[in-house]
Amino acid sequence: MKLHGRKRKKKRNAEKLHAKGVDAFRELDIDKDGRVSIEEMRSHTEFDIDRNGEVAPEEAKEYLEDNEFVDETLFMEKVWPSIREIYTTAKPAEQKKGDDEETPTPDEEEEEETEEEPETPPTPSTSESKDTQTDEEMPEYNDETKALIEAADEARKNFEEVDEKIKDFKKNIADLENDLKVDYGSRNEFKKVKENGCIEYTDREYTYKLCPFDKASQRPKDGGMETNLGYWGVWNGPSENPYSAMKYDKGQNCWNGPDRSVVVKISCGTENKIVSASEPSRCEYEFQFQTPAACGKALSDLNQTDPQHDEL
Ligand code: MAN
């Protein structure tokens, strides 16, 4: 009888978990088009794998199992199983008991059972009949089992902590390796531009953001989704001055058009600043960017001015 009760409970828990998945899908499908897209996934910070404060499209895509978007069936099949333990609903927490409680693990969910269970049919009176009435209670494990469960929990916790640290180390190593591959200018002068972080520029319609050597994006000035305009690609200046322009490419695809891209034209200025942003051709953008990093070159050029023009 006890077994039957547990089976039923398992089934109900599975149903509850499924319903939570369906709720999560509906919540993530912000534009209600029946699909969850990369952009929609990005609104949930729990998908920020590298914990840098924002969910990169690649991170969202990883959770979408490499799809640009998933419908409900695919979501339930492939995505929900891997996010259900980290997913936090934006809705007032109906399932949560306290505000400070973490996302329940499936195990804890079993304990959350509150629903009334129909009475278990009476059994012939045996010494087990007491058990039958306490169908809903967790089984009483013996001390040895309890100790084993505790040890397993502890081991799992330790493993997760170490695993997290390994992931952080791997990420750092990958970042450093990538950094070594980047050409920061003939005197490494653009390294500082990267270190100074992202720069924004707002025009009448959009706020443009440039994260040097990483990516460029655009979002409507009055709020809304960010559009990826491209990832760091190559130096794009003429052969005599390659460091006078950068190209960011492979951004979000333009409907019936190319993948978005940006050419960043660089000139000398007292601070890192985008002074204009335009879209000369649909989904092909151009930023004018000023930076002290571009000044040294100009000065050294001046020093090497052709003697014939000295009088100028
Ligand atoms: C969005 C923006 C524009 C772009 C159009 C193309 O509105 O990214 O800059 O021209 O899409 O459809």
Per-residue pLDDT band for 45 (boundaries 50, 70, 90) equals confident
Atom of ligand 1 nearest to the CA of 218: 8
Q: What's the chain's average pLDDT?
A: 83
SS3 for 75?
Answer: helix
CA–centroid distance, residue 182 to ligand 1 (Å): 30
User: CB–CB of 210/198 below 8 Å?
Assistant: yes
Average pLDDT (127-146) is: 67
Residue located nearest, by CA, to atom 3 of ligand 1: 283
Average pLDDT (254-280) is: 97
Average pLDDT (3-25) is: 84
Residue ranges lining ligand 1, Cβ < 6 Å: 218, 227, 254-255, 279, 282-283
Average pLDDT (112-128) is: 49
Question: Under 8 Å CB-to-CB from 46, ≥6 apart: which residues?
Answer: 83, 86, 87, 88
Q: Residue 2: what pLDDT? A: 57
User: CB–CB of 154/139 below 8 Å?
Assistant: no
Which amino acid is residue 133, in one-letter code?
Q
CA–centroid distance, residue 242 to ligand 1 (Å): 29
Which amino acid is residue 295, in one-letter code?
C
Whether residue 177 is predicted with pLDDT greater than 50 in this model: the reply is: yes
Q: What is the pLDDT of residues 180-194, one digit of tens each?
A: 999 999 999 999 999
**For a substitution probing ligand 1, which of 208, 254, 260, 285 has the most ligand atoms within 8 Å of its CB?**
254
